[in-house]
């Protein structure tokens, strides 16, 4: 082997849409062990100028063989406390928490594997939990006259059902898994315990939710304004 040969640099496409790196192989392996990088994470190898999923890269495959596939059937939810902090940071609203904060926060959540096409939330049902997306993809939909209208697509790092933490009103839409997905579930009862036992964790969590909701409202207002402007321009 050529003594001057070095490992290729790797760049990682994070769930937040940011490209990290380049990093060397040992660093990338440590991120896999911390579950910050999964088999479905997109990786760029500088030596061959190709983006691939981590699970398809030969030198990384051995680190994923022992991991169960996302969406495997299980008897019920499992404790989120079994997850490492790096894995929990895939969710944007948890990304700024320190390791010890995430370990405490995880005690109030459950991990839920969801099969493709599963209806996680059903319109009209009383809500009692919110969900954070660790892996996979889901769609928010309304069924109108038997036809599906898609309101949003949700990927890793996003969340839904947050209004259940504040009231127990009916769900406003369905949420369906487009593919096998891995979710974190926090019930309204668990959140109430979190708020009472660890308000220093609940407060920043609520602030992050509020910021995301505010951004969604602004985006919806802009879309509505643009549609009205377009309709008026078309009618003039």
Q: How far is CA 8 from the centre of its chain?
A: 29
Whole-number Cα distances in Å, 182 to 6, 33, 136, 229: 36, 18, 6, 40
| pLDDT tens for the chain, residues 1 to 236 | 344 445 678 999 887 678 888 888 888 888 887 777 888 888 998 888 889 888 888 888 877 764 444 333 334 566 676 788 888 888 888 888 888 888 888 889 999 999 989 999 999 999 999 999 998 999 999 988 888 899 999 998 899 999 888 888 899 999 999 999 999 999 999 999 988 998 888 888 888 888 888 887 887 788 778 777 777 777 65
Give the per-residue pLDDT at 80: 74
Give the per-residue pLDDT at 142: 92
Whole-number Cα distances in Å, 133 to 36, 90, 229: 14, 8, 35
Query: Which residue is listed with tokens 């220093």?
Result: 200
Q: pTM of the entire structure?
A: 0.64
Question: Closest Cα to residue 76, out of 185, 173, 174?
Answer: 185
């Amino acid at each position: 082997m050529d003594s001057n040969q070095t490992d290729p640099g790797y760049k990682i496409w994070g769930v937040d849409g940011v490209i990290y790196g380049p990093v060397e192989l040992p660093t990338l392996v440590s991120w896999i062990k911390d579950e910050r990088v999964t088999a479905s994470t997109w990786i760029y190898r500088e030596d061959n100028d190709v983006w691939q999923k981590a699970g398809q890269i030969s030198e990384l495959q051995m680190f994923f063989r022992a991991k169960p596939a996302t969406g495997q059937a299980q008897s019920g939810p499992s404790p989120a406390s079994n997850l490492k902090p790096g894995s929990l940071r895939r969710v944007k609203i948890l990304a700024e928490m320190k390791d010890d904060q995430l370990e405490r926060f995880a005690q109030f959540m459950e991990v839920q594997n969801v099969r493709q096409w599963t209806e996680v939330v059903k319109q009209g049902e009383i809500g009692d939990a919110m969900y954070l997306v660790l892996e996979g993809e889901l769609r928010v939909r309304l069924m109108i006259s038997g036809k599906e209208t898609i309101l949003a697509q949700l990927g890793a790092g996003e969340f839904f059902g947050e209004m259940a933490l504040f009231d127990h009103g009916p769900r406003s839409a369905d949420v369906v898994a487009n593919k096998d997905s891995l979710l974190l579930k926090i019930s309204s009862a668990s959140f109430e315990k979190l708020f009472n036992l660890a308000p220093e964790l609940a407060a920043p969590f609520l602030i992050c939710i509020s910021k995301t909701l505010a951004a969604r409202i602004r985006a919806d207002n802009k879309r509505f304004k643009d549609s009205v402007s377009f309709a008026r321009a078309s009618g003039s």
